[in-house]
Amino acid sequence: MLGQTLTSGSGNGAGSYALGLVHNEVRMDILRSDAKQLASTLLRDLIRPLIDFNFGTEVPMPVVRFAADEGEDLVALTTVLSLTVPLGIGVPQKSARDKFGIPAPEGDEPLLAAMAAAAAAATPKDGKPLPPLRPKQGKGLTS
């Protein structure tokens, strides 16, 4: 009745991972089909009448598309970048910013820095660790 085996059972036993992948593909096919049908309905019932009323029937129809694909695995992309960039494989900043949806900084806007770079800047030149911070005697709250 439901059309899929994993919707009514737990998928125990061999092959449940493979079944899950197949069901994910079916889910994506249904999602893409729904997106195409929604775009067609919006064009036919909403956009076309508005264009006809405001501009006339000779104006070409716009194209409506919905992004119905699975998003890119940003964790995997981060791993690849962290392994390849130190090896000298150049990646344009704009490309990386676009992939992650991070806007370019404006003017003198403060930037996040790598923790390793910040720690290296805080280490004294002689390589000895800094002493722990202790409050000065006589200052602060008293109970």
- N-term to C-term CA, the chain: 72
Find out whether 104 and 92 touch, Cβ atoms under 8 Å.
no
Q: Is the pLDDT of residue 133 over 80?
A: no
Residue pLDDT, tens place only, 72-94? 788 888 899 889 888 888 888 89
Residue pLDDT, tens place only, 10-34? 555 556 767 777 777 888 888 889 9
16 — phi, psi (to 5°)?
-70, -30
